[in-house]
Each structure stands twice: as structure tokens, then as C-alpha cells.
Structure 1
């Protein structure tokens, strides 16, 4: 009896190849973004997956002439994290939060623990920046921690490049003051 053969898969479309390139180049950046915000590997993995799920479903709206892929993906990550924080603050029940999530295997947890440990300094800086307002913190994080160009970070934050530069200057001054006070103790 002959085994039925499946027809070969069609070659990936240019859009699929373009998304794959973005996924591969920005995966570590998005994972690090969430690793600075949580010490739970499962949460970091879930938020990263949610970010790329949202990205792939809205990929047709991505316009390279309006900004970089990194800025676009981090904008999505910001929204995913805001939604996560809202859900947590509403006290969603554990079963609802875990519904539809796959448990990570041991190797994946070890990899994420390593990534989270690597971002420990970043989390410490984010914690030290808690005296800043949210807009100042996001500006510093996108430019100084993620390494985005200020004009791209301005697009992610929905402001002009000039306004972002002013916000960065003020926020960096505040952080320097906070760090020097912490070192005096």
C-alpha cells in the first residue's frame, strides 16, 4: 500500500520572509524588554509570544517609511505589557491567566533565567528610575537601554524628536542625581 504524499509546501511569501527577518533580529530585544520588567521566565516568554503574535497579525500595517522594525515591535511590546499590567491589577484569576498557555520545558526556563539574570543591572536601573515619571523612564529605556535612535524612540512614544531629546536630557540629569545620592549612602 502506497503512503499518501503531501504536496510540497509553497515557498514563503516575501511578507513571510520579511516578518521572519524582523522576528529573528528583534526577538532578543523584546525578550530583554520583558526580562527587565519581570523576574518570572514564564511571564517573560508569554509576553514575548504575545508581542510577536500581535506583530504578525498586524504586519500588513507595518510601514518601514514611518520607522524601524525595532520601534514598531517595541511599540507593540509596550502595549502588550500595559495590557498585562491592567489584567494583573484587576486581579484576574490564575486559571484564566494560564488558559491556553503551554508550560515551558526545563531548557527553555534555564535559557530565560539566564536572560533574566543578564538583565539584572537593567532591572536595577529601572528600579532606580522609579522616581521619574513614566514618560521619562520610557525615553531613557528606549534610547539608553534598548539602543534605539532618539528619532525612532520619539515615534514609538508618539512625540517629536525635539521633545524626546529635552525629556532625555532632563531624565538623565535626574538619574545622575539619584545615582550619586545612592552612592553617598
Structure 2
């Protein structure tokens, strides 16, 4: 019995669209993780995990609700939070290690350069340690990652008005903390 002819997907489509999103924002996602860990292997793995989650949910992505960058950094926040939970509890360490592939020398060197480039961002994050998590999140997304307030609101799942108020208050608290530590 002859197989029915399947229509080929049109050139481009959602796959090409996701590839464009990936190419446009992979550096932003990598930089996000490079500010949080000095280990190139962790940066590579967390970046890959973010894009695996992104590709599996890309069909639900709605550009009307926010930019691809904001959407990806929102996913990256969740990936990093889950990673931190796993590390702090010490569970699944063997499973994570078993799934790693060793980076070749060029890949590791490139990530080391990126991590070094994010050193000032890491220093700022270290200085923000006295702030609440909510304050750190808004400052990091807007002031460090360079997102506009609307994108950051989408990434955090809050309204633009709440974002504006939260950012204003967080910046004030940070100025106070920095002033106390350097005054």
C-alpha cells in the first residue's frame, strides 16, 4: 500500500523563527549565567538547559506579551533557580555530572573570556547580596541585563506598574546599602 504524501513544512516557519531567536540571544543568556558562576561547564550547561526549555515551549511564546529576550531571560531565571536548589540540597549531583560532556579547549577558553568579561557584573551582584531576592531580580534584569521595564515585568510575571514601583524602591535600597558600605 502506498504511503500518503506528507506536505513538507514551508521553508522557514517556527524552526527558522526559533533559530533566529537563538542566534540573536544566546550571548545574552550566556552572559546571564556567566555573571552567576565562574565554571565554564556550568555556564554551558545552564545555557543549553535554557534553550532546551525554550524550544519545547516555543509554540506557546507570544511576542505580543513581551520580547524574545525577556522570555528567554525569564526561562533562564527559572533554570538557575532550579540549579541552585539542586546544588544547595546536594541531590542529583551524580545525574548532573553523568550528563555533562567535556568542553574542548576552544569552547572552555571562549567561556572563560565571557566569564571574565562579566566580572564587573558579578561584583555588582555580590554587592547586592544584602537586598531581598525581589529587589535583586528587578535591578539585575533592568540595570545589569539591560532589559526595558516591560520586558522585565514579563520575565518576572508582574504588571508593568508593579515593576516600575519595585524597581524604584529596589534602587533606593541599593543606594542606601552601597552608601552604608562605602560611607
* Corresponding residue for residue 56 of structure 1: 55
Mark the CA change 1:94 to 1:145 in structure 2 (over 3 Å): closer, same or farther.
same
* Corresponding residue for residue 89 of structure 1: 88
Question: Whole-Å Cα distance in 2 between the matches of residues 53 and 81 of structure 1?
Answer: 14
Once the two structures are superposed, residues 142-169 of structure 1 have per-residue CA deviations (whole angstroms, 9 ceiling, x without a partner) of 1111111101111111111111111111
**Displacement of 1:58 after TM fit?**
1.0
Question: Whole-Å Cα distance in 2 between the matches of residues 153 and 111 of structure 1?
Answer: 28
Report the more deviating stretch, 165-174 or 42-51.
Answer: 165-174
Whether 1:181 and 2:173 are equivalent positions in the alignment is no
* Corresponding residue for residue 22 of structure 1: 21
* Corresponding residue for residue 66 of structure 1: 65
Question: Whole-Å Cα distance in 1 between the matches of residues 60 and 92 of structure 2?
Answer: 34
Aligned residues: CA RMSD? 1.7
Whether 1:145 and 2:182 are equivalent positions in the alignment is no
Mark the CA change 1:90 to 1:14 in structure 2 (over 3 Å): closer, same or farther.
same
Question: Whole-Å Cα distance in 2 between the matches of residues 107 and 12 of structure 1?
Answer: 33
**Displacement of 1:92 after TM fit?**
2.4
**Displacement of 1:181 after TM fit?**
2.9
Structure 2: which 5+ residue stretches go unaligned?
1-7
* Corresponding residue for residue 99 of structure 2: 100
Structure 2 length as normaliser, TM-score? 0.90
**Displacement of 1:67 after TM fit?**
0.9
Question: Whole-Å Cα distance in 1 between the matches of residues 11 and 72 of structure 2?
Answer: 21
Structure 1 length as normaliser, TM-score? 0.89
SS for the counterpart of 1:46 is helix
* Corresponding residue for residue 46 of structure 2: 47
Structure 1: which 5+ residue stretches go unaligned?
1-8
1:29-40 matched pairs, under 5 angstroms: 29-40=28-39
Mark the CA change 1:12 to 1:105 in structure 2 (over 3 Å): closer, same or farther.
farther
Question: Whole-Å Cα distance in 2 between the matches of residues 14 and 154 of structure 1?
Answer: 28
Question: Whole-Å Cα distance in 1 between the matches of residues 101 and 10 of structure 2?
Answer: 29
Whether 1:13 and 2:12 are equivalent positions in the alignment is yes
* Corresponding residue for residue 5 of structure 2: none
